[in-house]
Amino acid sequence: MMRILTASDRALLVEAADLDEAMRLNLAWEGLPGVVERVPGARTVLVHFDPLRISAEKLASTLKATRTDAAHAPHTAEVTIPVRYDGEDLDEVAALLGVSPEELVNRHLAADWRVAFSGFAPGFGYAVSSDPLFDVPRRSSPRTRVPAGSVGLAGRFTGVYPRESPGGWQLIGRTDAVMWDIDRDPPALLVPGAVVRFVRAGRSRYESGADTPDVGQNAAKRPTSGVSAAGVERAGHPDAAMIEITRPALQLLVQDLGRPGRAELGVAASGVADRTALRDGNRAVGNAPDAAVLECVGGVGLGFTGNGVAAITGATGEATIVDFDGIERPVPMGAPFATFAGDELHLAAPTHGLRYVIAVRGGIRALEELGSRSTDTLSGLGPAPLVAGDVLEVGIHAPYAVDPYPRPRALPTSGDLVELDITLGPRDEWFTASALQTLTGQEWSVTPRSDRVGIRLHGDVPLERAVTDELPSEGAVTGAIQVPPDGQPVLFLPDHPLTGGYPIVGALTDRCLDLAGQLPPGIRLRFRIVGRSGDVG
């Protein structure tokens, strides 16, 4: 019997009987009205929906009425991946499974693997086989750095890390195969439905002492003619103004509204952390609502080579313009201001909020990847983070008149107490009753170990699990509150992985996501439940 759970106020998590049914259901729901995107997992499908087009209850009823059969199973080409079986966890995993390392390798080679779904990072395919040997627990403590090309095991799955990233899979080998290439069609080597054959690699270039290869890294990071090292377009128009980064920020990125609808490639939507700030900034300078902007953490210096209009939204702090003659003038927050050739914008660290959005009339010109100019810091998609000396080109087209009226927002500063609304689920039943009371009853502090992937929280009392089983990988929404084994939650932001194997106790409501993107370290958080978990429909 299909079970449908609340994943957020804009997503449902559908539990299927098994992996095969999850794959068939995912395909059967292609083009369903009101559905924005689907993220299949090991035994689930995460269904994002537009609440203005369909209610959660009506969608659940439609989903439950679905009937599938084997004809829905996907079929794609076979992929062969050469592997050098020298992973640092190989001996330990073999002992755990009660076989020799050589038998483990031989059975990995002999098995017929099929990619069930994508997630975690672009190009990361979860492949499953019928060999019952392969049911391997994740590492109790995930690694902070797994090299690109690493071949791993977790649960019933095997996979290959497309790029260097954190990870908790058991590593048994490595490959030189390029798992993700933005210039390839499709960019992912392992797509859902693909049959995968692993073969022993010959002499590897690792044995020659060469550096670890750049396996599966984003091809756009390699500059080509007319493109800067940051991946931004150059010399697109002779009259275009330029912006030079004169003083680096803690983080300076090109962002827009992201790239939703790419889950089949393992690509998250990403996009600006504060959508309200992006819309306010673009409105102020007369841009289209989705024009690319700069997202800045910390202070920054920007030099302008031509005349234009800019606005600073989101976080607030001291901002001044120093002109060609050294004359200084203050810059208002949220309102448009003129820039002239030779001006330099000095932006101090924010006093309230965390991330500035800097919009310029015409928008930031940057190379599009999969329909977006956004930088995804987890996957490596989009322009590289900007550093001192990088030069950006400004577009020359803006469809609207500037709007001189700022829209003030009250953003918090370090030490403030902030309340965020959440819906419980989908895995709140995995936690004890006291843990659910702790979730909303105690304050959580935002730690410095936070970024665009997620905000790491700390509470005096960690969340205790009632179910300690391994959770098969399943989809996660932006705003999800995932709880690793230490019981200290991670609040997912736009660059979070599409899927994960730690239980999610709740998720922020959509209207709280922009505020979450503006929480600096030291903020005190309380969660307030506004939606309950359980079966929907």
> Over the stretch 94-111, which tens digit does the pLDDT of each residue have?
999 999 999 999 999 999
Q: Is 236 a residue whose pLDDT tops 70?
A: no
Question: What's the mean pLDDT when you consider all of the chain?
Answer: 90
Please state, in angstroms and rounded to a whole number, the distance separating the CA atoms of residues 135 and 90.
Answer: 14
pLDDT of residue 216: 36
pLDDT at position 420 is: 98
34: DSSP letter: T
Supply the pLDDT for residue 120. Answer: 79
Ramachandran angles phi, psi of 25, nearest 5°: -65, -45
pLDDT band at 289 (very low <50, low <70, confident <90, very high): very high
Quote the pLDDT of residue 205.
38
Please determine, for residue 534, whether its predicted confidence score (pLDDT) is greater than 70: no
Quick one: pLDDT at residue 219? 34
Specify which residues 42 forms β-bridges with: none
pLDDT of residue 212: 38
pLDDT for 97: 96
The mean pLDDT value for 205-212 works out to 38
pLDDT surpassing 90 at residue 263: no
Q: With 90 as the cut, is the pLDDT of residue 480 above it?
A: yes
pLDDT of residue 71 exceeding 80: no
Mean pLDDT of 413-426: 97
What pTM was estimated for this model as a whole?
Answer: 0.86
- What is the reported pLDDT for 217? 37
Question: Is there a contact between 40 and 73 (Cβ–Cβ < 8 Å)?
Answer: no
Indicate if the pLDDT at residue 232 is higher than 70: no
Q: How confident is the model at residue 190 (pLDDT cuts 50, 70, 90)?
A: very high
Q: What is the pLDDT of residue 533?
A: 65
Residues 183, 16: Cα–Cα separation, whole Å: 35
Asked whether the predicted pLDDT for residue 231 surpasses 60, the reply is no
Local confidence band at 213 (pLDDT 50, 70, 90 cut-offs): very low
Q: What is the mean pLDDT of residues 520-537?
A: 87
Contacts of range 380-383, beta carbons closer than 8 Å, 24 or more positions apart: 380/122, 380/163, 380/217, 380/218, 380/221, 381/122, 381/182, 381/218, 381/220, 381/259, 381/267, 381/270, 382/218, 382/220, 382/231, 382/253, 382/254, 382/270, 383/220, 383/230, 383/231, 383/232, 383/253, 383/254
Residue 142 above 90 pLDDT? no
Within 10 Å of residue 70's Cβ, how many Cβ atoms? Answer: 7
Average of pLDDT values for 17-30?
Answer: 88
> What's the residue count for the chain?
537
Binned at pLDDT 50, 70 and 90, residue 225 comes out as very low
Tokens for 420? 């965020």
Residue 63's alpha-carbon distances to 3, 87, 192, in angstroms, are 10, 42, 21
Nearest alpha carbon to residue 311 among 237, 411, 441, 407 = 407
